[in-house]
């Protein structure tokens, strides 16, 4: 058998773009491609930060997880405790719920995500776990599960606590998990206003704290943060066509810098890099030549999604090839590994993906097999 190398695509003769890192005026930051998880930019990404209200991303995830598993309903009502109510009286961001109010999970989530209400966080945490301490344990268990290695949550809101810590890298991981696993509920993060028909007063209308939502540039989340010791922070996500980027930056001196610098970082990512879908699990199909099978070709696919993000100046060096010992000899069972997909740049392998048969391939009967073999011996024609 011969070793086959089939080039799928090779980019040549494209213009090279100079890629200079953006000068971001913050203490720490990261920019990640959503699909490939490639880190496009980082500024001291392992530095400890106080995540402030970005903590509320995990608070929302815990609720979304229970909703997805039908262990919680948006219509469920939780009673507001004095503990939760006091946060609405302390000068923090609030939904302005009152003691003994019966508030639905849906309204509490809107109060958390849109109005950034610390009181709503405590009411939700107590309603789900009985106490905020128990809820924080759930948050930490989820953080470990999704790969957040440098995070410790001590409360549901992110208000002052020296032990409530994270990193921009972990916040980016958490943001991707949110968007990927709860697309329906993630829609809440782009809503610009929330009106709470409060007890004992006129309804209160509050706008989303995320300044980039109002610029109509493709940003649809995620969450702002502020603590005096940490200054201003923002986890943001922008989608243009089929591509999404996630930026998390902390330590901005002002609100205006938080907005302008985050947008600059996101735009830099789109301007200087591209992401390509190399293979979609069980969707991207390749065909290989066969030998002594009941068909001349067999379909193969990967069992994982794979995307590659690359600087535009390096696109000309990108190459994707199929590699297999062929033709593929029948019989072949569906799911059998029979080839590989190799992604390389400048001769260096970036990724090698196994390819699996997407179908069964039967061997032809003895007579036809004999004729085919004789034909090959005489004519070299398979």
The model's pLDDT over 229-276, given as tens digits with 9 standing for 90+, comes to 999 999 999 999 999 999 999 999 999 999 999 999 999 999 999 999
- Give all strands of the β-sheet with 337-345 in edge-to-edge order: 2-10, 318-326, 337-345, 348-357, 297-301, 286-291, 328-329
Residue 327, preceding peptide bond in cis (omega within 30° of 0): yes
DSSP letter string over 227-275?
ETTTEEEEEEEEEETTEEEEEEEEEESSHHHHHHHHHHHHHHHHHHEEE
Of these residues, 53, 60, 81, 175, which one is catalytic?
A: 53
Average pLDDT estimate for 295-305 = 90
- Residue of 141, 48, 126, 56 lying closest to 92 (CA atoms): 56
Of these residues, 93, 116, 175, 259, which one is catalytic?
A: 116
Q: Is this prediction's pTM over 0.75? A: yes
Give residue 379's pLDDT band: very low, low, confident or very high (50, 70, 90).
Answer: low
Length of the chain in terms of residues written: 382
Residues 6+ apart with CB under 8 A from 273: 19, 33, 40, 309, 310, 311, 312
Percent of the chain as helix, strand, coil, to the nearest 5: 30, 35, 35
* Terminal C-alpha separation, the chain: 11
Give residue 382's pLDDT band: very low, low, confident or very high (50, 70, 90).
Answer: very low
Task: Give residue-wise pLDDT tens across range 168-184.
Answer: 999 999 999 999 999 99
The whole-number pLDDT of residue 16 equals 35
Domains of the chain: 2-13+278-379 (2.60.410.10), 28-252 (3.40.710.10)
The whole-number pLDDT of residue 237 equals 98
Residue 268, preceding peptide bond in cis (omega within 30° of 0): no
- Residue of 221, 213, 225 lying closest to 255 (CA atoms): 225
Of these residues, 56, 110, 176, 223, which one is catalytic?
A: 56
Inform me whether the pLDDT recorded for 370 exceeds 50. Answer: no
Residue 53 annotated in active site: yes
Residue 116 annotated in active site: yes
Residues 222, 208 contacting (CB under 8 angstroms): no
106 class by beta-carbon count within 10 Å (0-12 exposed, 13-18 middle, 19+ buried): middle
Average pLDDT, the chain: 89
The whole-number pLDDT of residue 7 equals 53
**194: which 2 tokens?**
């929330």
Share of the chain above pLDDT 70, in %: 90
Residue 250 annotated in active site: no
The whole-number pLDDT of residue 122 equals 97
Average pLDDT estimate for 104-123 = 97
The whole-number pLDDT of residue 10 equals 43
Task: Give residue-wise pLDDT tens across range 7-42.
Answer: 555 443 333 334 578 899 999 999 999 999 999 999
Lowest mean pLDDT across 80-89, 106-115, 231-240: 80-89
The whole-number pLDDT of residue 376 equals 52
β-bridge partners, 246: 32, 237
State whether residue 175 is helix, strand or coil. helix
CA-to-CA distance for 226 and 193, rounded, in angstroms? 20
Query: What DSSP state is assigned to residue 111?
Result: H
Inform me whether the pLDDT recorded for 115 exceeds 60. Answer: yes
């Amino acid at each position: 058998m011969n070793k086959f190398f089939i080039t799928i695509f090779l980019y040549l003769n494209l213009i090279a773009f100079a890629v200079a890192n953006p000068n971001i005026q913050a203490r720490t930051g990261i920019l990640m491609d959503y699909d490939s998880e490639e880190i496009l930019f980082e500024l001291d990404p392992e530095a400890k930060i106080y995540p402030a209200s970005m903590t509320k991303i995990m608070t929302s995830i815990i609720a979304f997880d229970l909703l997805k598993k039908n262990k919680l309903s948006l219509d469920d009502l939780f009673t507001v405790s004095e503990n939760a109510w006091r946060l609405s009286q302390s000068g923090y961001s609030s939904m302005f719920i009152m003691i003994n109010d019966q508030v639905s999970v849906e309204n509490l989530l809107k109060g958390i995500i849109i109005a950034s209400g610390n009181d709503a966080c405590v009411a939700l945490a107590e309603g789900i776990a009985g106490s905020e301490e128990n809820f924080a344990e759930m948050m930490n268990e989820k953080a470990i599960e999704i790969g957040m290695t440098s995070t410790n949550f001590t409360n549901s809101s992110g208000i002052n606590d020296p032990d409530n810590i994270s990193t921009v890298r972990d916040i980016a991981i958490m943001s991707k998990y949110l968007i990927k696993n709860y697309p329906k509920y993630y829609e809440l993060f782009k809503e610009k206003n929330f009106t709470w028909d409060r007890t004992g007063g006129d309804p209160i209308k509050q706008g989303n704290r995320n300044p980039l939502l109002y610029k109509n540039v493709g940003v649809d989340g995620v969450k702002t943060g502020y603590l005096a010791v940490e200054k201003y922070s923002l986890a943001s996500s922008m989608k243009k066509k089929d591509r999404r980027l996630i930026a998390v930056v902390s330590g901005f001196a002002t609100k205006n810098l938080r907005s302008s610098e985050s947008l600059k970082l996101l735009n830099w990512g789109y301007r200087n890099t591209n992401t390509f879908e190399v293979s979609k699990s069980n969707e991207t199909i390749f065909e290989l030549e066969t030998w002594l099978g009941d068909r001349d070709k067999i379909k193969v696919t990967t069992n994982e999604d794979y995307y590659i993000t690359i600087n535009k100046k390096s696109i000309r060096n990108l190459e994707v090839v199929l590699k297999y010992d062929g033709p593929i000899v029948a019989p072949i069972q569906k799911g059998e590994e029979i080839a590989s997909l190799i992604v390389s740049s400048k001769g260096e392998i970036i990724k090698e993906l196994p390819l699996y048969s997407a179908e069964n391939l039967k061997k032809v009967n003895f007579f036809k097999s004999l004729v085919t073999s004789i034909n090959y011996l005489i004519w070299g024609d398979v």
